[in-house]
């Protein structure tokens, strides 16, 4: 499998358990690695033969901007499932960074890997 990646996709959303987090949008960042086979696209130079990372990013931006979760774990899982199901990706690694949620840390978040169920 080949990997198409998308790094540091910044999206504003409601995420967190504290009262102030429920009222203030925060910027999260997504890094994605998505397995696919690019050989046919490379041979034909046809966007229809590959994973359209712009379509993936637009779908995730729309979803995350309109989401309202307490935990980054839930948001990461939902994003991974969108990629797997809607874009027929067999495997995804997703890193969700909640930014400066912890004083003194430049980032905090979660890294998950998910694959299609056989």
Average pLDDT over residues 47-64: 97
How many C-beta atoms surround the C-beta of residue 74 within 10 A?
Answer: 13
pTM value? 0.94
The token pair that represents 83 in the structure block: 């990629």
Query: CA Rg, the chain, in Å?
Result: 15
Burial label for 39, CB within 10 Å (0-12, 13-18, 19+), is exposed
Q: Give the active site residues.
A: 98
Domains, the chain, ordered by start: 2-115 (3.30.1130.10)
pLDDT tens-digit map of 13-24: 999 999 999 999
- pLDDT above 90 for 107: no
- pLDDT above 90 for 88: yes
Report the number of secondary-structure helices (H) and strands (E) in the chain.
Answer: 4, 5
Average pLDDT over residues 72-85: 98
The pLDDT of residue 117: 78
CA distance 46 to 64: 29
């Amino acid at each position: 499998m080949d990997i198409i990646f998308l790094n540091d996709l910044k999206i504003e959303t409601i995420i967190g358990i504290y009262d102030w987090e429920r009222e203030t949008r925060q910027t999260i960042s997504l890094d994605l690695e998505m397995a696919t086979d690019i050989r046919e696209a490379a041979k034909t130079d046809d966007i229809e033969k590959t994973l359209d990372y712009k379509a993936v990013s637009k779908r995730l931006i729309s979803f995350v901007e309109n989401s309202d979760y307490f935990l980054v774990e839930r948001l990461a899982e939902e994003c991974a499932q969108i990629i797997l199901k809607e874009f027929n990706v067999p495997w995804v690694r997703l890193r969700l960074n909640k930014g400066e949620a912890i004083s003194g840390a430049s980032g905090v978040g979660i890294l998950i890997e998910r694959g299609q169920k056989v």
